[in-house]
Amino acid sequence: MACAIPSPSFRLTRIAVAFGAGVCALGSTIGADSRWLAALGREIVKLGSIPSGIPYAAAPSVDWVNVPVLGELVFHWLQWLGGDRGLLIAQLVATTAALAILAVDMRSARAPDAAGAVVLVAVFFAALPSFIVVRAQLFSLVLFCLVLVLLRAEARAPSRRIWLLVPLVALWANLHGAVLVGLAVSAAYLLLDRARREPLVASGVLLASSAALFLTPALLHSAEYYLGVMRNESAARGEGLWAPLSFHAPFDVLFIVLAVPLVAFALRSRLRLWELCSVAALAAVTVHAGRNGVWLVCLLAAPAACGLGQVLLGSLAVSRRTVVLCGVPTLALLVMGLAQPPSQGGASLLVRDRAVALAGGRPILADGLDAERLALDGHRVWIANPLDAFTRRDQRRYLDWLAGKPSGDSLLEASGRVVLVTRGTPPDRRLASMPLYRRVARDSEAVLYLRRSGP
């Protein structure tokens, strides 16, 4: 895959990278599936070893295999050094690096500058939650794009650099489970492209990369972790981050609107066989779980820029005035984003402290974000992320409770007196209708319930 028209300038593409960084700085927020890594990282540092199960949760988890230990330690250090701002800066760095690497991939493919800028902006907004919401996958944003650049460089001019895939997989396996996506795309290249010319090299790199997947503290037990992640109750139900694409979800609609033309332009650039197979596979898994859409649009970025450049923007001249007019607002976005205080989200410190005082050392039942914040504060919760660490029975009960189903009420009986929920959610409405519980505190985000001790 290469463009027919070389790009003498790269100015608009750089501005597109800076624009994505500015939007990320201004709009990024810390979501669920982030602070639990810092909480576990703190426990690892305190103990000097990897704890058995989830130490901040009361629900049984002793059989859980902990693989992304390095990611947990990194999140702990980020939280320790900069608090929430440390996590937001990490997301900003990851987003900027991912977009910059995609820009390098476009330039290597000789995509026109204007086309590259348009596609980068489309990629950013197509996968907006992945780029602005702090979650464990921020490591994978950078590493997946690095793997893409490596594979495409090798497809153009095969060399010994393909062996760099092995340490990349080893590092990635210790950070985030999306390493499986990167390994699958790499296998497509090795089997469908490299093996035709250098079968021994292709098979050697594939075997070594697959073995690198197990170079974690869990070693061969790492497979249990990956199976647990893919088979957890949220994935089985298609809920939360595992929800399929839906025309009722605004971000999913935005993804579909932008991803379809990206696919069309990418196909115009004559994708190689391994790229076609990877696009087809990632499209299928994205329909099944929308969270995978970010890998699809990143894979499409460089070929889509080439295809767009052939149709519309191949010979567009960019003046210095245009660059200035685009660059000034972008710089303003970045400055404003870095200057604003981090958005807290979830229950206020006052409500969380009240919950801890009422709990009296017993575990607190809380939903998503608040459960992770309580865990990071050093308090015990009943159950929290990572959900796959717990038994299927407790996973089902917790998800039923989050959905406001009567079948989740058994969790209330087992989890103690104090319950902290987000305002207006199904568990909040169900607790409000139960005479056994009364509101004892609230703020703009959360409500604290206490179980009555008498009639």
Which residue(s) pair with 450 in the sheet?
Answer: 418, 438
d(CA 26, CA 337): 4
d(CA 19, CA 103): 13
pLDDT band, residue 6 (cuts 50/70/90): very low
Query: Tens of pLDDT along 380-406?
Result: 999 999 999 999 999 999 999 999 999
Given this model, what pLDDT does residue 262 score? 96
Q: Which tokens belong to 119?
A: 């596609």
Phi/psi at 328 (5° precision): -65, -50
Least confident of 144-153, 157-166, 201-210, 445-454: 445-454
Q: Which helix (H) or strand (E) holds 134?
A: strand 133-134
Given this model, what pLDDT does residue 257 score? 96
- What 8-state DSSP symbol labels residue 254? H
Given this model, what pLDDT does residue 7 score? 47
**CB neighbours of 378 closer than 8 A, spacing ≥ 6?**
56
Place of tokens 């340490």: 167
SS3 content of the chain, % helix, strand, coil (to 5): 65, 5, 25
Instruction: Kindly tell me if the per-residue pLDDT of 205 is higher than 80.
Output: yes
d(CA 447, CA 352): 10
- Share the mean pLDDT of the chain: 89
**CB neighbours of 438 closer than 8 A, spacing ≥ 6?**
449, 450, 452
d(CA 251, CA 262): 16
Yes or no: say if 122 and 21 are a contact pair by the CB < 8 Å rule: no
Helix H, strand E, coil C: the string for 142-195 is HHHHHHHHHHHHHHHCCCHHHHHHHHHHHHHHCCCCCHHHHHHHHHHHHHHHHH
Buried b (16+ CB within 10 A) or exposed e, 326-348: bbeebeebbeebeeeebeebbbe
Parallel, antiparallel, or unpaired for β 365-366 and 418-422? Answer: parallel
Q: How far is CA 325 from the centre of its chain?
A: 32
Highest averaged pLDDT of the listed ranges 165-179, 237-251, 321-335: 165-179
Positive or negative CA dihedral for 261, 267, 271, 273? Answer: positive
Given this model, what pLDDT does residue 11 score? 80
Q: Is 268 helix (H, G, I), strand (E, B) or coil?
A: helix
Instruction: Kindly tell me if the per-residue pLDDT of 314 is higher than 70.
Output: no
Query: Tens of pLDDT along 244-298?
Result: 998 989 999 999 999 999 999 999 988 999 999 999 999 999 999 989 999 999 9
Yes or no: say if 24 and 96 are a contact pair by the CB < 8 Å rule: yes
Can you give the pTM of this predicted structure? 0.92
**Domain boundary assignment for the chain:** 11-338, 349-451
Q: Which tokens belong to 80?
A: 């320790």
To the nearest 10°, report the CA torsion of 36, 299, 338, 319.
180
Share of the chain above pLDDT 90, in %: 67
Given this model, what pLDDT does residue 84 score? 86
